[in-house]
Amino acid sequence: MAGTVDWFRQDQERARWDAEDSGLVVRLIREERGWTRSQLADVAGVSHVDVVQFEAGAVVPAQPMLVRLTRAMGFHS
């Protein structure tokens, strides 16, 4: 059982780091474009609070919001 708990904690820690890194990337791109958080939120169709929380690394899992925000800024996969 201890192995499962350790794995779960490691997985949570990895998700937190991914969310923080994703938030930093979005903030850097947004600032490079000279956009405010509100402008990004409007273009992406999300709330200002969603952008603030995402940039702070508080959105886990980060990938769905990362895709939405980066597409709004012109990046497509």
pLDDT in the model for residue 32: 96
The closest alpha carbon to 18, from 51, 63, 52, 48, belongs to 63
Burial of residue 75 (CB within 10 Å: 0-12, 13-18, 19+) is exposed
Confidence band (pLDDT; 50, 70, 90) for 64?
Answer: confident
Tell me if 77 is assigned to some domain.
no
Tell me if 17 is assigned to some domain.
yes
Task: For 5-19, write each residue's pLDDT tens digit.
Answer: 564 456 556 656 678
- For residue 65, give its domain range: 2-72
The count of structural domains within the chain is: 1
Task: For 38-62, write each residue's pLDDT tens digit.
Answer: 999 999 999 999 999 999 988 877 7
| CATH code: domain of residue 40 | 1.10.260.40
* Alpha-carbon span 51 to 10, nearest angstrom: 26
Tell me if 33 is assigned to some domain.
yes
